[in-house]
Amino acid sequence: MNFGILVNEGPYQHQASDSAYLFCKAAIAKGHTVSRVFFYHDGVNNSTRLTEPPQDDRNIVMRWSKLAQDHSVDLVVCVAAALRRGIKDDVLAPGFRISGLGQLVESGIEADRLLTFGD
């Protein structure tokens, strides 16, 4: 099965990002495909390389980057939501790219299921 994922919450304010990441890992481990993760609303905060959690805490941004690298997952950040929060190409972590809502629509069309994490 091919999954598209929508993440609407930031990395440390809500469990949505952790849940989405863990779902992706589990789905891939079971042989499914996660073609795209679309970050929208405060979810765009998952994409910035400026995030510096304490050493003993999980680094959610780097988890997403590694997932993209290891499994060719397309990590797309909504341009409008990103710009509202001061996120531009020069602060994106590896594996992330900025694009428009058309990528979310395309993901919904091409995926067997589109799952939403966060409000």
Cα–Cα distances (Å) from 110 to 1, 33, 53, 103, 113, in that order, read 11, 12, 35, 10, 9
Catalytic member of 24, 61, 68, 78: 78
Q: Is position 78 annotated as part of the catalytic site?
A: yes
DSSP code, position 79:
H
Structure tokens at 50: 């400026």
- Report the 10 Å Cβ neighbour count for 47: 28
The catalytic residues are: 78
